[in-house]
Amino acid sequence: MNPSGGLRWHWKAWRSLPLWEPTCRDIATWLSEKPPTRGDLLLIGASAGWMMSSDFLSRFGKVITYDIDPLAAPLFRWRHGKALATAGTELVCQRGDALNNLAQVLNEHRKALVLFDNVLGQIRFHHPDVDEASHRIASILRRLRGRHWGSIHDAYSGPVRTPVSRRAHTPLMRSVQAPPLSAGASKRADRDQPQRAAFAAFGSQLDADGAWLDHLTGDLFPPGTAVTHIAWPHLDDYCHWLQAGWVEPA
């Protein structure tokens, strides 16, 4: 079974929409800041678009979605099809592994804006070896050189002390992706310092408890990228820290 999709995931997502509503609003706010366009959008890892904004999708003349899950396309159409049809946006849903065939997919949609929808942070679960997962992410970034792309993805996830239902929603935060550390900073503790500092600031608002899982996306965005940090209460007592940003063609 796909560790980040399938029938169980869709059932959970549908049942969790009231809990996730503040996060969906934050994601919509981030997406609304992207200048309007009537070009094409290539949405990779679309799933059913449970947390995607129909208003954002409707800005495009054509939306092409990719997901390996056979349930993704019909559920995406159920979630967003009516709004897109009303806006005159063509919707094309493809079933396939866009990450493993990224070069071909990008070549087929050369002028499309690329958006990875909560998929890059899942690569760790498809590659149990941390080094292998990191190399996989690095290879994807190399494929994206020269393209205009964006991503919203997990940065960290873990338990919280106070249940989400008993506290206020953590508002989104902004930062700028820091430059890489100097070559002399070779120790792991030195390399992880920027992420630890960011976690201290955002994790305190999330009321993080204990050790959180690193989804290996800390260096995904180039230095200087404007990054939006969004709290996602995956469960009442377990939260994800999402990061979102857009990368201009190099």
Q: 109-126: per-residue pLDDT in tens?
A: 999 999 999 999 999 888
Kindly report each contact of residues 127-132 with a partner whose C-beta sits within 8 Å and lies 24 or more positions away, as own/partner.
130/216
What lies within 8 Å, CB to CB, of 209 at 6+ separation is 158, 159, 160, 161
Give the integer Cα–Cα distance in Å for 68 and 46.
9
- For 43-90, the pLDDT digits (tens) are 999 999 999 999 999 999 999 999 999 999 999 999 999 999 999 999
- Span 164-175, average pLDDT: 85
Count of alpha carbons within 13 Å of 88, Cβ hemisphere only? Answer: 3
Q: Which CATH architecture has domain 7-247?
A: 3-Layer(aba) Sandwich (3.40)
Higher-scoring residue by pLDDT: 37, 15 = 15
Name the residue ranges covered by the structural domains of the chain. Answer: 7-247
Which residues pair with residue 246 across a beta bridge? 150
- For 129-160, the pLDDT digits (tens) are 899 999 999 999 999 999 999 999 999 999 99
Whether residue 189 has pLDDT greater than 80: no
CA 81, 84, 89 angle in degrees (round to 5)?
Answer: 125
Number of C-beta neighbours around residue 136 at 10 A: 18
**Predicted model pTM:** 0.90
Q: How confident is the model at residue 210 (pLDDT cuts 50, 70, 90)?
A: confident
Q: Which of these, 132, 221, 239, lies nearest to 179 by C-alpha position?
A: 221
Residue ranges with strand state E in 45-148: 62-67, 90-95, 113-117
Q: What is the DSSP letter of 87?
A: H
Q: What is the CA radius of gyration of the chain?
A: 18
Higher-scoring residue by pLDDT: 204, 14 = 14
- pLDDT for 84 equals 98
- Of 37-41, 43-47, 197-201, give the lowest mean pLDDT range: 197-201
